[in-house]
Amino acid sequence: MIPGIEVTSRHGHILGLGVREPVPAGLGAEETVELIREQGGVAVAAHPFWLSGKPGLVHHARFDAIEAFNSRSYFLSNPLALRYARRKGLPITAGSDGHEEREVGLAYTEVEAERVEGVLEAIRKGETSIGGENLPLLSYLAKILKKGLGLRW
């Protein structure tokens, strides 16, 4: 297990891998990244081109890595994130962004390391590979509809 958090910054969601203490929500991306690094963590721009997210997250801070595949992201968001990471020479990660048990593990980041510190270092060096699959489209659309209508089922 890699300890971590997802922080809602003023500019979008940021993953803090290797972080064990809370990082306050609502700060700017740059300050959030700094607080993650102060704990020895890796700061990852989470789903930076997600259509329902805040655009421009990647322009507000220097990230250690980019989430290039998110199983809940559809259409152009994952390809745009991967293209951005490659263009900027940034390491990539992938994540399920699972909100329910059955969603956990749909996307993953592979590294060759035995301890948390080794995993974090491999990510920083870009020694990762990513894989997985999207949340089934009908499940994704049902969640959007449910959220939009305020339903609880």
pLDDT digits (tens, 9 = 90+) for 26-75: 999 999 999 999 999 999 999 999 876 677 899 999 999 999 999 998 88
Residue 95 tokens, joined: 């994540």
pLDDT exceeds cutoff 60 at 153: no
pLDDT (mean) for 77-98: 96
Overall average pLDDT of the 4-28 stretch: 97
pLDDT at 151: 62
Digit-coded pLDDT (tens) for 89-113:
999 999 998 888 888 999 999 999 9
Q: Kindly indicate the confidence band of residue 2, based on its pLDDT and cuts at 50, 70 and 90.
A: very high
CATH code, domain with 85: 3.20.20.140
Radius of gyration (Cα) for the chain, nearest Å?
Answer: 15
The residue range of the domain holding 36 is 4-149
Q: What is the pLDDT of residue 75?
A: 83
Rounded CA separation 5/72 (Å): 17
Domains held by the chain: number:
1
Average pLDDT, the chain: 92
Q: Which three-class secondary structure state does DSSP give residue 3? A: coil
**How many residues in total does the chain contain?**
153
Residue identified by tokens 């489209």 is 137
pLDDT for the residue 52: 64
Per-residue confidence (pLDDT) for residue 29, from 0 to 100: 97
